[in-house]
Structure 1
């Protein structure tokens, strides 16, 4: 059975001449993501016979805390129970954690993959854009010590998320980027192509938002855009190449997402928002990042 992969929602080289070395603050401007914890119920949307999957259910918990001065920490736990066509069930548990400097110069990340409560793989490392910003140096400590050097034009997850909102506010409908988030053993840079839809009409802004969430967070008064991002392997960049996977969702201007849909090709899953908890904003102590 296939293992789930997931890059951060709030998970390059942008078509509107945005440099990966530009500070997040310069991109954000009026973009302010609210610290929060969001819970999504995961269900199987479709599966081809070749996927080996007959049933799937699960939950994803995403958490964002931090600020421009303290940097941003993202945590995600993605647990699914997958039943194969032979009737055998398997529990997949993906856990990720990352901290990103507000100026987009540093990224620390850890990813652990459990299967049936057994730790199968851990990736840990850090990425440093350096003073010049021409390259990003990656130092991996798990599963083994390894050094990599990638283009300084790559974007880290929070840079990408904030750039999506900035592009949406400008009315742009396409955003191309190279994205590095430490996934795939920390050795993968994805080429991404994001399509940004028109701002959702006020009357439809709460579609897919439970009443309990509406009582906690004012989303009706916030702009929201439908977005779809295709993730391509840089080794497969032919004109008709198929993306490794595709992610679509609605993204509010405060960073909360709804109506998740992840297409892995031979199967796809949906994520329905069930709860949101607003968290305290990290206080600034005179330093920008660590």
Structure 2
């Protein structure tokens, strides 16, 4: 039985997709709030890691945020969100927890499947029990969306629309419009950062704007929007997130590569 061969196979999955397994730390800051909003400050961190395992793409997001208000006590929100997405894009396990001042107030866990012919699929939650959603034809999971966006970038396309199910909450699938902008300086935001592995940023980068819409709503107004500096190896070096009442930045503070899991092979 060989372990190293399995690790090489997992590495090959990432290389074939042009992606770099990595972990990253982002600093989150409030940069603007709507007049009349009670929010006076938001600060914290987001930790992200992504890598191929023996059978699937694994991603983890962890947020630790302090919300400060004008007329009420500050509140600390922590959230953990993980996905385990099969390489062929047809199967995904997901889990999410959110805590307010240390108290769990939302938990999600479940399994989603897509037909191999892009004919849609379904998601079923074990927590909360009984929640189910249909995923429309053409729908994708998070890694499927990333790979689809990369494909459009390499074609020099300017727009990419997709329906995505990510399992981060119990709201079901959403529509995402991606507007692909001009190439940018891949090192612009991180030139003097000691904790950032510059080799991971040595990949072509584009400005990308994402607009997120609920699936069952025909409104022309998005729920929120995100401006990214998106590298073709899957690394994001800068984010600006615009919600209805406030805007935050997510600035890259640390970045390093991850090794593929050791997989047993006969």
TM tier, shorter chain? 0.7 to 0.9
Q: Which has the higher strand share?
A: 2
Q: Is 2:172 the partner of 1:188?
A: yes
Q: For residue 117 of structure 1, what is the aligned residue in structure 2?
A: 102
Q: Number of paired residues?
A: 253
Superposition CA RMSD, Å: 2.2
Cα deviation 1:237-272 (Å, max 9, x = unaligned): 24xx21001111111111111111111121011011
Q: For residue 137 of structure 1, what is the aligned residue in structure 2?
A: 122
Q: For residue 262 of structure 1, what is the aligned residue in structure 2?
A: 241
How far residue 131 of structure 1 moved from its aligned partner, in angstroms, is 5.3
Q: Determine which of 142, 146, 167 is the counterpart of 1:157.
A: 142
Say whether the 8 Å CA contact 2:135–2:165 is kept in structure 1.
no
TM-score (norm 1): 0.81
Which sections of structure 1, spanning at least 5 residues, go unmatched?
1-27
How far residue 275 of structure 1 moved from its aligned partner, in angstroms, is 0.2
Q: For residue 35 of structure 2, what is the aligned residue in structure 1?
A: 49
Q: Is 2:235 the partner of 1:244?
A: no
Taking the aligned partners of 2:42 and 2:154, their CA distance within structure 1 comes to 36
How far residue 178 of structure 1 moved from its aligned partner, in angstroms, is 0.8
Q: Is 2:215 the partner of 1:234?
A: yes
Taking the aligned partners of 1:162 and 1:181, their CA distance within structure 2 comes to 14
SS of residue matched to 1:218: helix
Say whether the 8 Å CA contact 2:149–2:160 is kept in structure 1.
yes
SS of residue matched to 1:110: strand
Say whether the 8 Å CA contact 1:128–1:138 is kept in structure 2.
yes
Q: For residue 100 of structure 1, what is the aligned residue in structure 2?
A: 85
Residues 77-92 of structure 1 aligned to structure 2 (within 5 Å): 77-86=62-71, 88-92=73-77
Q: For residue 207 of structure 1, what is the aligned residue in structure 2?
A: 188
TM-score (norm 2): 0.88
How far residue 198 of structure 1 moved from its aligned partner, in angstroms, is 1.8
Say whether the 8 Å CA contact 1:194–1:228 is kept in structure 2.
yes
SS of residue matched to 1:273: strand
Which sections of structure 2, spanning at least 5 residues, go unmatched?
1-13
